[in-house]
A and B are shown apart, each in its own frame.
Chain A
Amino acid sequence: MSCHEVARPRDAASGSSFRTIAVVGPPNSGKTTLFNRLTRLRQKVGNFPGVTVEHHTGHMRDGNGGEVALIDLPGVYSLSPKSEDEKVAVDVLTGNMPGTPRPDAILLVLNSANLHSHLVLAARVIALGIPTLVLLNMADELRKQGGQVDVLPLARQLGTPVALVSATTGEGMVAVHNFLASAAASPEPVELPVMGSTRGYREWAVRVGANARYRRPAAPVWTARLDAIFLHRVWGPVIFALVVISVFQTIFALGQPLSSLLQRYLDTTGAQLGRHLPAGMFQSLLVNGVWKGTGSVLVFLPQILLLFLVIGILEDSGYLSRAAVIADRTMSRVGLNGKSFIPLLSAYACAVPAIMATRTIESKRDRIATILVAPFMTCSARLPVYTMVIAAFIPDHRLFGVFLGSRAAAMLGLYVLGFLMAVITARLLKSTILKSKDAPFILEMPPYRWPTPSSLGLRLVDRGKAFLYRAGTVIMLISLLLWAATNFPMHHGQPPQVKDSVVAKVGHAIEPAIRPLGFDWKIGVGLLTSIAAREVIIATLGTLHGVDPESHASDLQAALHHELTPAGAAALLIFFAFAMQCMSTLAVVRRETNGWKWPALQFGYMTVVAWVAAFAAYNTVSHFVH
């Protein structure tokens, strides 16, 4: 068995070379690794119209020096359009996907360790009549574990060329280039099971495999050994807790300081930029609009990249599936599954990377539910707001002896409130609009593997780009809108005092709606500007009161007492715990769900919950404190 040999059923007909190639394969076949190896950085991410399914397109050179476009389709087990993923794959392969040309050829990636079940997909793909190259991936692991297969008889039976490859090591890749250069003919008409049950296909696959002298590789010993520890009754949860703590620590203790460092750097450079420009509207637009907007996009990058580095290691190594098994029992109580755990945990640092991390959840409904509840987790942007209001209104008492101060208790209470609301919302969603009757928790457990630096690196580039281009534009747009609202109408060519600006007018306009919560128009303005980022309310209130919140924090706290009664302060805290005061989260939800439907629903729901809860808090506290 030669590993570079490409078995062909007959000589390829000469003809025009391929333009568009679809990469098809089941999940865990190494399809993405292969796609990455072929296209490297020449790829971009997009969504097909109207679906949440994301896809990558990339470019590579064929053997003749021409350029071909590769479409990486979602991983599918079959072509019966039952799930959204499968429907997308079928639509693209049959030329029914708007905006995507029908592929001229298919690279079908199968895991050589799972030949029998993956041949079932091969039969269905080959039946489409599109020129196909079957790539039996993970040839290195197949050999190492004592498996084998002969490609020639396999090619003869399938009517398509077949090659043994390893996307990780690059073995056999020449087959792909030869295939693309030769413009091979449509599959030979061979006896394929056209109709029939999955079992019928399966019996055919066993026969085909036997004729190709297929021997399944032994189950990897290390996977069994590691699972005996990672899924152990006692050690499993202990290791899980350690992993979870280090994920959390990475984002909190490493990501946050990096983000603040970047923020400070951007603020300084913005100020320097401002000094070099003549004062006026243009300077303000550039420094406070464009530069600030760019900054509010960029500050998320360190956290996003770090989280995806950690998740990439967990996912590529295979541990993420084990973690899901460990966390599943707990998560099932709120109607979610184990895969939601790590995204929800990362939401304690920031909802933006957390929502991007939900892509590891296979079930669409569970993924949407996780996205919708993630912003209830107390993210770090809420902390400065909590700290300021708590310090201003809650006297520092000791509760329960030395263990808990009243302020710490209030902070803890807000964390618990956010968590409880997430649980309630998850249960609500999973018993109504996101009921997953037809998508139970079924999780394939891949063998453990070493994550490769190139695959981790490409993932970081990919996620970084996806965030900057797709979510960044929305964040930028809202930043500019907020800038305009605080800088118009101009007064003799100068920006107005905040109290005379458009945003103040809107603040006055919404005052009747927030009056029942004990808020006046100034707090209203703070609520509006905090859409840029929650902590912005502090700077806004500082400006409105003419107090620098950095150097004169206690003055601002004193000033707040003019604005808010203790009941109003309680309402403000509760409002911030529940409200969707974050354009970046909205932008990223839009990007991940490919539309405004879910972010709009989420914004509406969270605002209503926040208003009602704040109203209840205001009236309760008013009743007891005067």
Chain B
Amino acid sequence: MELKMIFNFMSGRRSRNRHRRRGTLSDLRVGESAVLSGMQLSAPIAEHLMNLGFIPGLVVKVLRSGPGGDPRVYRVDGTEVAMRRDLSRHIQVEVAGSPAFGD
């Protein structure tokens, strides 16, 4: 697993809210929102996702799911993006936190 780089940008902002629930994007149900906190993906994929708006600190919402629950469509930063669970499993989110920045 030396290929995997850990992207974690939440340093310093972590202890603001004690009641937040941590998990991955694939744990969220359709209609739920959460704040992105990091991703464990190889650098090119992580960068691609960040270019699309998956930047730690922003709110992501599960809009809908394809037949059979996979892939699912997410909205982040005004963009709608579909991805499979094999990817969303590697994106960490925190529920009930307020967005770190953004609009």
A binds B: yes
Residues of A within 8 A of B (CB): 26, 77-78, 80, 82-83, 113-114, 116-117, 120-121, 197-199, 202-203, 206, 216, 219, 227-228, 231, 233, 236-237, 321, 324-326, 328-329, 332, 338, 437-445
With contacts A117-B53, A231-B73 taken as known, whether A440 is within 8 angstroms of B79 at the C-beta atoms is no
Q: Across the interface, do A329 and B49 meet the contact criterion of CB distance under 8 Å?
A: no
**Cβ contact within 8 Å between B80 and A114:** no
Tell which of A216, A438, A441, A445 touches B80, judged by Cβ atoms closer than 8 Å: A445
- Say whether B66 contacts A325, CB under 8 Å: yes
Q: Give 1 or 0 for each of B9-52: 1 = CB within 8 Å of chain A CB.
A: 10000000000000000000000000000000010110111111
Report B-chain residues with C-beta under 8 Å of the C-beta of A441.
71, 82-84, 87
**Other-chain residue from A83, A219, A231, A445 in contact with B81 (beta carbon distance below 8 A):** A445
Task: Tell me the minimal C-beta distance from B80 to chain A in angstroms.
Answer: 4
| Nearest A residue (CB) for B57 | A199
Contact B77 A114 (CB under 8 A): yes
> Looking at the complex, which one of A83, A203, A216, A325 makes contact with B101 (CB distance below 8 Å)?
A203
Contacting pair A236 B79 (CB below 8 A) = no
Please indicate the chain B residues that have their CB under 8 angstroms from the CB of A438 in the complex: 42, 44-45
- Please name the residue on chain B nearest to A329 by beta carbon: B68
Quote the shortest CB–CB distance from A314 to chain B (angstroms).
16
**A445 with B55, Cβ < 8 A, contacts A198-B50, A199-B50, A326-B66 known:** no
Provide the residues of chain B in CB contact with A326, threshold 8 Å: 66-67
Interface check B103, CB cutoff 8 A: yes
Instruction: Identify the closest chain A residue to B69 (Cβ).
Output: A329
- How far apart are the CA atoms of A442 and B84 in the complex, in Å? 8
Q: Which residues of B are found within 8 Å of A206, using beta-carbon distances?
A: 101-103
| B97 touches A (CB below 8 Å) | no
**Given A77-B48, A202-B55, A444-B52; A329-B73 close (CB under 8 Å):** no
Shortest distance from the beta carbon of A248 to any chain B beta carbon, whole Å: 20
For the complex, give the distance between the alpha carbons of A436 and B9 in Å. 27
Pick the contact of B56 from A120, A199, A439 — CB < 8 Å? A199
Report Cα–Cα, A329/B73, bound state, in Å.
Answer: 14
Q: How far is the CB of B17 from chain A (nearest CB, A)?
A: 20
**A residues in contact with B50, CB < 8 Å:** 198-199, 202
- The verdict on B86 contacting chain A, using a C-beta distance below 8 Å, is yes
Supposing A231-B66, A328-B66 touch, asked if A117 and B83 sit within 8 A by C-beta, the answer is: no
CB distance from A28 to the nearest CB of B (A): 9
How many chain B residues touch A (CB < 8 A): the figure is 37
Q: Taking each of A83, A329, A437, A442, which has the highest tally of chain B beta carbons within 10 Å of its own beta carbon? A: A442
Q: How far is the CA of A227 from the CA of B53 in the complex (A)?
A: 21
Q: Do B52 and A442 have beta carbons less than 8 Å apart?
A: yes
Q: Give the shortest distance, in Å, between B91 (CB) and chain A (any CB).
A: 11
In the complex formed, the residue of A with least CB distance to B81 is A444
Are B78 and A113 in touch, CB under 8 angstroms? yes
Q: How far is the CA of A376 from the CA of B99 in the complex (A)?
A: 50
With a cutoff of 8 Å between Cβ atoms, the chain A residues found around residue B83 in the complex are 440-443
Q: Is the CB of B79 within 8 A of A321?
A: no
Bitwise interface map of B from 56 to 68 toward A, beta carbon under 8 Å scored 1, else 0: 1100000111111
CB neighbours of B77 from chain A (8 A): 114, 116-117
Are A82 and B84 in contact, CB atoms less than 8 angstroms apart?
Answer: no
Question: Residue on A with the closest CB to B80?
Answer: A445
Q: Given the known A-B contacts A82-B47, A442-B49, are A321 and B82 also in contact in the complex, defined by CB atoms under 8 Å? A: yes
A113→B78 CA distance, assembly (Å): 7
A residues less than 8 Å from B82 (CB atoms): 321, 324-325, 328, 441-443, 445
- Looking across the interface, which residue of chain B has its beta carbon closest to that of A115? B78
Q: Contact: A77 with B64, CB < 8 Å? A: no
Min C-beta distance of A82 to chain B, whole Å = 5
Given contacts A82-B44, A325-B71, 14 further A-B contacts (CB under 8 A): A78-B51, A82-B47, A114-B53, A116-B77, A120-B51, A198-B50, A236-B66, A328-B82, A328-B84, A329-B70, A438-B42, A438-B45, A442-B52, A445-B81
On chain B, the residues within 8 Å of A83 by CB distance are 44
Q: List 27 A-B contacts (CB under 8 A).
A: A114-B53, A117-B51, A117-B78, A202-B55, A231-B73, A236-B66, A321-B82, A325-B66, A326-B66, A328-B66, A328-B84, A329-B67, A329-B71, A438-B42, A438-B44, A440-B45, A440-B87, A441-B71, A441-B82, A442-B52, A442-B81, A443-B81, A443-B82, A444-B52, A444-B81, A445-B80, A445-B81
A243 to B1, CA, bound (A): 42
A227 proximity list for chain B (CB < 8 A): 63-64, 73
Chain A positions within 8 Å of B79 at CB level? 114, 117, 444
Closest to A82 in B: B44
Complex CA distance for A190 and B65, rounded to whole angstroms: 44
State A90–B81 Cα separation when bound (angstroms): 25
